[in-house]
Amino acid sequence: MLDNWAHSANTTNLASFAVSLEIAKRRKPFTDGDYIKDCFMKAAEELFYDFKNKETIMKKIKEMPVSAKTVQDRTAKMSSNITEQQVEDIKLASALSIAIDESCDISDTAQVSLFVRYVSAQGPKEELFGLLPLKGQTRGEDIANAVKTYLEHTRIDLNIIISIATDGAKNMTGVNKGAVSILRSKIDHEILTFHCVIHQEALCAQTLPEEMVTSMNSVIKIINSILAKPLCHGQFKALLDEMDSEYVDLLLHNKVRWLSRGKVLKRFASCLEQIKLFLREKGIEHLELEEDKWLQKFHFMVDITSHLNALNVMLQG
């Protein structure tokens, strides 16, 4: 898309696409275009103050279209162009592996994430191919139909699919009504099916020994006792600042987020001395924080969850 504009005489449009691309890559609001333009104008005033063609430069910057609507349109065009390139690459591939994952977004709308792996002229590729909203139920039939409809819409032959990976849920792997079974019946050859290794790893990580679960519960209880009351929370943050702590606050545990547990434990370990001092000043007793055996188990959990987090990130690319 940018190359097409580069060969046109309208360089302000090319600049507009470049700004929109950076805004999209950094996940910033579309309204930041005007802010960037204002900064560009101010900086240009100083950078080019002694240039003979300063007025021409300033005029070009001023003419650059970066309003919120323009940035939105530019982003949509680039997204569409990338999808078209992706579809053309997949059509040229001799085989295709797909991964399907169903979950809800923050508005409780069920969505199917469709990932693809194939070999193009540039080499092996693994990419997000589509995010498909589900209307109504999330049965295997609904998921399979959403995937089938999307592939047909992009004119990709179902018969080039050689494997399907899922999270192992019943609506995915059911013998008769699972999404994989329904898709398999639409393909005229045998396909391989896999249980996603990321989900397997996440499930294994949840089956920690009872004594470690108890340690984790103690950490969560202590964090909640500090963060639950605004006054107490504010005093703790002030203590961290006063002691020049590496961090300015603790983290709350969220079971839904896979990386949450490791991050919470790592932050707790880094602030352990400040936590112990704060609890002593408040007269709150947590005797386990002074027990060597409990601390050994706690630090082991910090290490193991840090490694699990690193593994998760690598598996997700």
Alpha-helix runs per DSSP H in the chain: 2-6, 11-25, 32-47, 54-63, 68-92, 140-153, 170-173, 179-186, 197-205, 210-227, 230-242, 260-270, 272-282, 292-315
CA distance 229 to 200: 37
Residue 205: what pLDDT?
62
Contact 275, 226 (CB under 8 A): yes
Model-level pTM? Answer: 0.64
What is the token pair recorded at 307? Answer: 């490694």
> Nearest 5°: phi and psi at 17?
-65, -40
Residue 20: what pLDDT?
92
Of all helices (H) and strands (E), which one includes residue 2? helix 2-6
Alpha-helix runs per DSSP H in 135-229: 140-153, 170-173, 179-186, 197-205, 210-227
- Convert the pLDDT of each residue in 234-266 to its tens digit: 999 998 898 888 888 888 776 655 567 788 889
CA-based Rg of the chain, rounded to a whole angstrom?
27
- Convert the pLDDT of each residue in 210-243 to its tens digit: 777 788 888 888 998 888 888 989 999 998 898 8
DSSP secondary structure code for residue 117 in this structure: E
Q: How far is the CA of 104 from the CAs of 107, 116, 133, 179, in angstroms?
A: 8, 20, 9, 17
- Convert the pLDDT of each residue in 56-65 to its tens digit: 989 999 999 9
Contact 2, 21 (CB under 8 A): yes
Contact 166, 182 (CB under 8 A): no
Confidence of residue 169 (pLDDT cuts 50, 70, 90): confident
CA distance 298 to 304: 10
Could you give the 3-state DSSP secondary structure of residue 260? helix
Confidence of residue 136 (pLDDT cuts 50, 70, 90): confident
Residue 252: what pLDDT?
79
